[in-house]
């Protein structure tokens, strides 16, 4: 980012991008609700909108249920690990996708009865917790080594466990850490198919961060070719194909540029387009081989729009420089140096965006909320909102210098 040369009193520019303008307009219609929350609960806040979360969960399910005869949905807890978020999504008929013993304990504590446990490097105590709760947990194994450790565990406990295998198409680069290559499916299946305590039930893949369905389509085609080579008993045993998460919210990816008002947007497909495209290739390449249940593990798409961060201006140090009561330890990374989200002044609301450094109160310059705000003007005590911060912020929050915001569910 360049320094901002334009002071507040210079002529503000209308947003060129209608996407941000419409987005801000919709939020301003609910301005009083957000201001009331700040009035009652103070600042800073993580504000969860239960209705938005329910609506997203329902929309996601409906989109894919229209395309496929048998489906299951698992919310990826790591995308927002607030237990209220998981509780609300459970209420919408989702199961939970957990990636650690901590997340598994949370899921069990919430009473979830359909949990999938995936992720690299599961420890023995984590696997033991899964085996103890074998009636509620399916373990998606990440490697042959993990399979061996799990076999020893279930034999010792004499407990039958539902398992699946995570497959991966990346043989180079950092994504190769997940799962096993496609050709490892057959030998691993043969290792456990007659085991007394290992019940092979499915296959998983996950490729994160898809603005469009192309990569998932390619993986489904490759998976179809892999499954074709499996023996007949596989098709009796295998109940589900889990195609993971990685759906980008339909508003697209918003990025900052050198111009504080010149935001960039990379468009994303709607979830209905994802469902139509993936549904077609799944029917053609997977369901033509067997009547599998298709599982989904969305995280970001479900929680992104359902949590906002509310902050307050503490100090106005220049016409175009304000310091707020919360820092980016609330989001855990220097998100707004690259990602753009509008900073919305709820107190002095307006539909024009004006250049201004809106910064946090941490003793580091990498503590940026934004390089502009929407509003008439900005003053001390004003309540500001950073909308749609539900995904990969709350889970990454850190104890660093300032206290963390309180959570309020409305
Ligand atoms: C992180 C993760 C997800 C969720 O990804 P999103 O991009 O948040 O949808 C789903 N499945 C697995 C295995 C993951 O690791």
With a cut of 90, say whether residue 2 has pLDDT above it.
no
* Mean pLDDT of the 177-184 span: 94
Q: Is any atom of ligand 1 closer than 6 Å to the C-beta of 325? A: no
Active-site residue set: 363
Short-list 171, 159, 156, CA closest to 130: 159
Distance, first Cα to last Cα, the chain: 35
Contact between 369 and 358 (Cβ < 8 Å): yes
With a cut of 80, say whether residue 17 has pLDDT above it.
no
Percent of the chain with pLDDT over 70: 96
Tell me the whole-structure pTM to 2 decimals.
Answer: 0.94
Short-list 80, 33, 3, 17, CA closest to 320: 3
Is 35 within the bounds of a domain?
no
246 Cα: distance to centroid of ligand 1 (angstroms): 6
| Helix-helix angle 124-132:101-109, to 10 degrees | 20
Please, which pLDDT band fits residue 178 given cuts at 50, 70 and 90?
A: very high
Angstrom distance (rounded) from CA 207 to CA 273? 17
Please, which pLDDT band fits residue 382 given cuts at 50, 70 and 90?
A: very high
266 Cα: distance to centroid of ligand 1 (angstroms): 20
Angstrom distance (rounded) from CA 253 to CA 340? 8
Q: Tell the residue number behind the tokens 């993580």, with chain if given.
A: 46
Mean residue pLDDT of the chain comes to 94
Give the C-alpha distances (Å, rounded to integers) separating 193 from 103, 166, 200, 343. 29, 16, 7, 55
Q: What own/partner pairs with CB < 8 Å and gap ≥ 24 does 185-194 have? A: 185/226, 185/230, 186/229, 186/230, 186/231, 187/144, 188/141, 188/144, 188/147, 189/165, 189/230, 189/234, 189/237, 191/144, 191/147, 192/147, 192/151, 192/163, 193/233, 193/234, 193/237
With a cut of 90, say whether residue 14 has pLDDT above it.
no
- Does residue 83 sit in the same domain as residue 163? yes
Q: Is any atom of ligand 1 closer than 6 Å to the C-beta of 390? A: no
205 Cα: distance to centroid of ligand 1 (angstroms): 10
Short-list 404, 402, 403, 357, CA closest to 384: 357
- Does residue 340 sit in the same domain as residue 299? no
Q: Would you call 252 helix, strand, or coil by DSSP?
A: coil
Angstrom distance (rounded) from CA 124 to CA 31? 49
From 304, 330, 354, give the residue that closes a domain: 304
- Does residue 290 sit in the same domain as residue 223? yes
Q: Is any atom of ligand 1 closer than 6 Å to the C-beta of 103? A: no
Angstrom distance (rounded) from CA 303 to CA 312? 24
337 Cα: distance to centroid of ligand 1 (angstroms): 24
Q: Is any atom of ligand 1 closer than 6 Å to the C-beta of 202? A: no
Task: Report DSSP state, residue 304.
Answer: G
Task: Report DSSP state, residue 95.
Answer: E
Please, which pLDDT band fits residue 16 given cuts at 50, 70 and 90?
A: low
Instruction: Please state the domain count of the chain.
Output: 2
pLDDT at 309: 98
Range of 397's domain? Answer: 306-409
pLDDT at 3: 36
Per-residue pLDDT reduced to its tens digit, 211-255: 999 999 999 999 999 999 999 999 999 999 999 999 999 999 999
Joined tokens for residue 305: 């729009």
With a cut of 90, say whether residue 173 has pLDDT above it.
no
With a cut of 90, say whether residue 300 has pLDDT above it.
yes
Short-list 188, 174, 101, 114, CA closest to 144: 188
Q: Tell the residue number behind the tokens 């009473």, with chain if given.
A: 111
* Mean pLDDT of the 275-290 span: 98
Is 315 within the bounds of a domain?
yes
Q: Is any atom of ligand 1 closer than 6 Å to the C-beta of 207? A: no
From 265, 288, 304, give the residue that closes a domain: 304
pLDDT at 9: 41
Mutation pick for ligand 1 pocket among 244, 301, 303 (CB with most ligand atoms within 8 Å): 244
Is 260 within the bounds of a domain?
yes
From 304, 322, 356, give the residue that closes a domain: 304
pLDDT at 172: 81
pLDDT at 11: 40
Per-residue pLDDT reduced to its tens digit, 61-82: 999 999 999 999 999 999 999 9
Per-residue pLDDT reduced to its tens digit, 335-361: 999 999 999 999 999 999 999 999 999
- Does residue 150 sit in the same domain as residue 178? yes
Q: Is any atom of ligand 1 closer than 6 Å to the C-beta of 375? A: no
Angstrom distance (rounded) from CA 292 to CA 312? 51
Angstrom distance (rounded) from CA 335 to CA 149? 39
In sequence order, which ranges of 3-49 are alpha helices (DSSP H)?
18-28, 31-41
Beta-bridge partners for 139: 117, 163
Per-residue pLDDT reduced to its tens digit, 365-377: 999 999 999 999 9
CATH of the domain at 357: 2.40.37.10
98 Cα: distance to centroid of ligand 1 (angstroms): 9
Is 37 within the bounds of a domain?
no
- Does residue 277 sit in the same domain as residue 357? no
- Does residue 376 sit in the same domain as residue 273? no
Mutation pick for ligand 1 pocket among 296, 299, 390 (CB with most ligand atoms within 8 Å): 299
* Mean pLDDT of the 171-175 span: 84
- Does residue 77 sit in the same domain as residue 62? yes
- Does residue 262 sit in the same domain as residue 313? no
Q: Is any atom of ligand 1 closer than 6 Å to the C-beta of 355? A: no
* Mean pLDDT of the 392-398 span: 98
């Amino acid at each position: 980012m360049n320094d901002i040369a334009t002071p507040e009193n210079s002529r503000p520019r209308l947003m060129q991008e209608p996407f941000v303008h419409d987005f801000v307009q919709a939020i301003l219609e609910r301005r009083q609700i957000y201001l009331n929350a700040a009035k009652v609960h103070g600042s800073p806040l993580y504000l969860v909108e239960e209705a938005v979360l329910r609506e997203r969960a329902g929309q996601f399910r409906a989109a894919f249920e229209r395309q496929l005869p048998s489906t299951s949905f698992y919310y990826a807890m790591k995308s927002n690990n607030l237990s209220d978020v998981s509780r609300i999504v459970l209420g919408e008929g989702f199961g939970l996708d957990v990636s650690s013993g901590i997340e598994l304990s949370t899921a069990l504590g919430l009473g979830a009865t359909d949990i999938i446990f995936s992720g690299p490097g599961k420890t023995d105590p984590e696997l033991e917790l899964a085996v103890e709760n074998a009636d509620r947990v399916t373990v998606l194994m990440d490697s042959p080594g993990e399979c061996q450790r799990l076999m020893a565990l279930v034999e010792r406990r004499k407990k039958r466990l539902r398992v699946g295998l995570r497959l991966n198409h990346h043989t180079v680069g950092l994504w190769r850490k997940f799962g096993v290559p496609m050709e490892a499916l057959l030998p691993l299946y043969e290792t456990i198919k007659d085991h007394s305590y290992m019940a092979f039930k499915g296959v998983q893949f996950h490729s994160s961060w898809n603005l469009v369905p192309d990569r998932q389509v390619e993986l489904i085609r490759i998976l179809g070719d892999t499954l074709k080579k499996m023996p007949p008993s596989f098709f009796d045993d295998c109940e589900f194909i889990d195609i993971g998460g990685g759906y980008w919210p339909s508003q697209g990816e918003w990025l900052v540029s050198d111009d504080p008002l010149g935001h960039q947007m990379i468009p994303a497909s709607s979830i209905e387009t994802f469902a139509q495209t993936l549904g077609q290739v799944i029917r053609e390449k997977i369901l033509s081989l067997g009547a599998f249940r298709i599982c989904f593990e969305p995280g970001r798409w479900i929680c992104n729009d359902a949590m906002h961060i509310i902050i307050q201006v503490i100090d106005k140090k220049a016409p175009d420089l304000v310091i707020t009561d919360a820092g980016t330890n609330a989001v855990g990374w220097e998100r707004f140096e690259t990602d753009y989200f509008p900073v919305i002044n709820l107190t002095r609301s307006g539909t024009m965006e004006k250049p201004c450094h809106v910064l946090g109160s941490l003793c580091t310059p990498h503590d940026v909320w934004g390089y502009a705000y929407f509003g008439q003007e900005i003053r001390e005590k004003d309540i500001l909102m950073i909308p749609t911060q539900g995904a990969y912020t709350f889970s990454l929050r850190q104890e660093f210098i300032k206290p963390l915001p309180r959570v309020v569910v409305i």
